[in-house]
Structure 1
Amino acid sequence: MEAIPMSRRLRPSNDVLAYPHDDATQLGKAEHTGTVVGITKRAVQHLKKQMKAFLPDPIFLSLLHRKLVGRYPNLRRPRTFNEHILMRSLKPDPRYAALTDKIAVRDYVARTLGESYLIPLIAVPDNFTRDVFDSLPQSFVMKANHGSTFVEIVRDKSKVSYEHLKKLADRWLATEFYHVSRERHYKEIKPRLFFEKLLLDSSGQVPPDYKVHVFRRKGMRPVMYIVQISDRFGPFPRGNVYDSDWNHLDVTIGEYARNATPDTRPTNLAEILEAADKLSRDFDYVRVDLYAPDNALYFGELTFTPGAGVVPMFPDRVDFEWGTLIDASI
């Protein structure tokens, strides 16, 4: 799942500092007042976070759905894509945890597709020590297995310190991802750190991420939509949506802006769709993430509850259209 911020940092207002600067006493009072206001706002922010933590999961997600999607979800009879995903977050299939775990899922991918589709592992340490850092190659990717956005790309190890990565890793491992988005199957995943080979294409860039949304209904062929995320770690990430024939759709999902012109059709599109089909066969819906640098193909992750069911989709009718494609009886 991609991670959604639960709150935004509050900054002290500058209005309280607008005192005449030729009066040192007034300026001192203003600075003191600004500090007090800053402390007060931080206290309010902390209190809000604590209050959110005590909200029951259905209420928490319903309020977030209302804020981000624009309406309260129907939890009794879900109709939209987001409503179905939200209900999965609250009542996950027992299989989701192991297949969402970015380390454990590798066994499933090896059995289903073959080990050649796995990004080579460098290390899965019990503890991230300096010796582990020293043993890493010049370039690599550091990840955590139990949530979204836990990714750090290192192109040149000589330009990053062990202390920086250690601090980042400790913060990831201390994060209970369930508390971020209330996707209950994340409770079952034990946080682990791991290191993978850095995938780059022939131009030296991180390859696009193909997020294949696969829907299955009984007696029908699977329906697939592909979201290609380009420049994900750069300043201008883009997310273009395509059908399985690579028709560029006038659709945006979440925070990724859409390009006016389509991306180049991947030469191995048929292989991308076949891999997504094989990995999704036991489910009514799953998002299969893949990378295809220079006509190769690598597995990224399986996501059963993208965005926890609170992701805006434009136009809004797409939320309803995708909702009709989910057959929860499978």
Structure 2
Amino acid sequence: MTIIKSAEFGEEDAQARPERIVSGELREFAPIIGAGERLESHDHSHTASAQPPSTARKIREAAKSLLPDSLFVSLLHHKCIGRYPNLLHPVAFNEKILQRNLHPDPRYIRLTDKLQVREYIAGKIGDEHLIPLIAAPDAFTQEVFDALPEAFVMKANHGSSFVEIVRNKSDTSFAQLKALAERWLHTDFYYVARERHYRMIEPRIFFEHLLLDRSGQIPADFKLHCFGGRPGRPIIYILVISDRFGTATHGDVYDIDWNHLDIAIGDYKRSAAPAPRPPHLQAVLDVAMRLCEDFDYVRVDLYAPDDKVYFGELTFTPGAGVLPFTPDSIDYEWGKLLV
């Protein structure tokens, strides 16, 4: 895999010159660093907007694209976490994820691509765990739109938050979805947070079955942070996102025994009381354990409507290494688990 290197300011330079960070020289770039468009708290939590970017945003994005990767991630980490990262000797979870951004495992490319990963998942746990694929056309045309069912989900394979839920096709139009799809396809997701493996993914639009439970609701999203690379069972923390596309979204963290932990990830609010233990929790854990067994860390996203378990995605750089934890000490506790 080709690793993108900056000609202006390499990683080693950034690590060897920490005085540039503390002196405030880097802070002059802060106004052109966005708020972290792809954090865990915003990962698929809302359908993507079809509104075109403003001129000011285009200028800001262009300026950001000129920053070397190490400099960019250091500024973004400081903006979102409140401190500059140690890229030379990472200790915290987010710092180690930043290292993955800059030096990704070649496997991340195929397994992060939301279309290519389907083959891997089918071979690993069986295609019964895949959300049915409606279409993955070479081009999104009027004919493709006309052939879609009344309800579906439109996605792009090369990034996060590229999700548009369509419950009734009559409420939208080909022109609206085409404009949104074109915006996604022309977004180089690498530039959002410098996750280099995303740059190697060829953008595609595809359509999936709209997954609903028996009550007609979109099921909760199980994001299982799996720390393996050790003998025996992996260590797993379960982030459950409820009412993700509604008005009462919550994010609750549980251990494998369904103890409600006093942890918040991103800006998700914890529920006042824990949800009932899912009757098929063990099936969810069994699938996650199968999918994480080849990695020292991966976040396995699953859906568990009624008595079934469906695969969502594999994420190797959650929150792009700028994921706030409450309390902040969790960043360091999880850092010890990621070897």
TM bucket normalised to smaller? 0.7 to 0.9
Residue matched to 1:67: 79
Q: 1:81 to 1:172 in 2, by over 3 A?
A: same
- After superposition, what is the alpha-carbon deviation per residue over 1:188-222, rounded to whole angstroms, capped at 9, x for unaligned? 10000000000011111100000000001433431
Distance, in Å, in 1 between the alignment partners of 2:56 and 2:118 is 43
**Alignment match, 2:241:** 229
Is 2:138 the partner of 1:111? no
Distance between the aligned counterparts of 2:137 and 2:311, measured in 1? 21
C-alpha separation in 1, matches of 2:263 and 2:255: 11
Distance (Å, rounded) in 2 between the aligned partners of 1:291 and 1:44: 38
Q: Distance in 1 between matches of 2:160 and 2:309?
A: 21
- Is 1:179 the equivalent of 2:191? yes
Q: Which residue of 2 aligns with 1:196?
A: 208
Q: Deviations over 1:82-103 (max 9, x none)?
A: 0111110110000001000000
Partner of 2:34: 7
Distance in 2, matches of 1:75 and 1:321, equals 18
SS of residue paired to 1:233: coil
Distance 1:95 1:216, change over 3 A: same
Distance 1:139 1:145 in 2: 19
Q: Partners of 2:166 and 2:33 in 1: how far apart?
A: 28
Q: Aligned with 1:175: secondary structure?
A: coil
Q: What CA distance in whole angstroms lies between the structure 2 residues aligned with 1:167 and 1:47?
A: 21
Deviations 1:230-255 (A, max 9, x none): 11111231110011111001111112
The two structures have a TM-score, normalised by structure 2, of 0.83
Give the direction of change, closer, same or farther, for the CA distance of 1:261–1:6 in structure 2 (3 Å limit): farther
> Distance in 1 between the 2:282 and 2:92 partners?
29
In structure 2, the residue matched to 1:86 is 98
What amino acid does structure 2 have at the position aligned with 1:71? R
Conservation of the 8 A alpha-carbon contact between 1:241 and 1:250: yes
Distance 1:44 1:99, change over 3 A: closer
- 1:254-278 Cα distance to aligned partner (Å, 9 max, x none): 1211112111211111111111111
Match of 1:28 in 2: none
Counterpart of 2:299 in 1: which secondary structure? strand
Does structure 2 conserve the Cα–Cα contact (< 8 Å) formed by 1:217 and 1:325? no
> Is the Cα–Cα contact under 8 Å of residues 146 and 192 in structure 1 kept in the other structure?
yes
Q: 1:269 corresponds to which residue?
A: 281
By how many angstroms is 1:47 displaced? 4.2
Task: Choose from 151, 166, 171 the match for 1:154.
Answer: 166
Residue 237 of structure 2 aligns to a residue whose secondary structure is: strand
Residues 1:170 and 2:182 aligned together: yes
User: Residue 49 of structure 1: CA displacement?
Assistant: 3.1
Equivalent-residue separation in structure 2 for 1:113 and 1:66 (angstroms): 39
Higher Cα Rg: structure 1 or 2? 1
Change (3 A) 1:142 1:47: closer
Query: How many Å apart are 1:45 and its aligned residue?
Result: 5.5
Structure 1 residues 45, 127: CA separation in 2 closer, same or farther (over 3 Å shift)? closer
Task: Pick one of 157, 165, 175 that aligns with 1:145.
Answer: 157
Deviations 1:41-65 (A, max 9, x none): x876554433221111111011110
Unaligned runs of 5+ in 1: 9-41
Change (3 A) 1:111 1:303: same
1:161-189 deviations in Å (ceiling 9; x for gaps): 11111111110111010011110000110
Q: Which runs of 4+ in 1 moved over 2 A?
A: 5-8, 42-51, 217-221
Q: Is the 8 A contact 2:213 2:305 kept in 1?
A: yes
The letter of the residue matching 2:201 is: I
1:101 to 82, 104, 113: 113
Rounded Cα–Cα distance in structure 2 between residues aligned with 1:224 and 1:43: 43
> Aligned pair 1:125/2:137, yes or no?
yes
CA distance in structure 2 between the aligned counterparts of 1:254 and 1:196, rounded to whole angstroms: 27
Q: Decide whether the 8 Å contact of 1:66 with 1:73 is kept in 2.
A: yes
Could you tell me how far apart the structure 1 residues matched to 2:55 and 2:154 are? 34
The one-character-per-residue Cα deviations of 1:116-166 (angstroms, maximum 9, x if unpaired) are 000000000111111100000010000000000000011111111111111
Residue 329 (structure 2) aligns with: 317
| Structure 2 residue identity aligned to 1:7 | G
SS in 2 for 1:296: coil
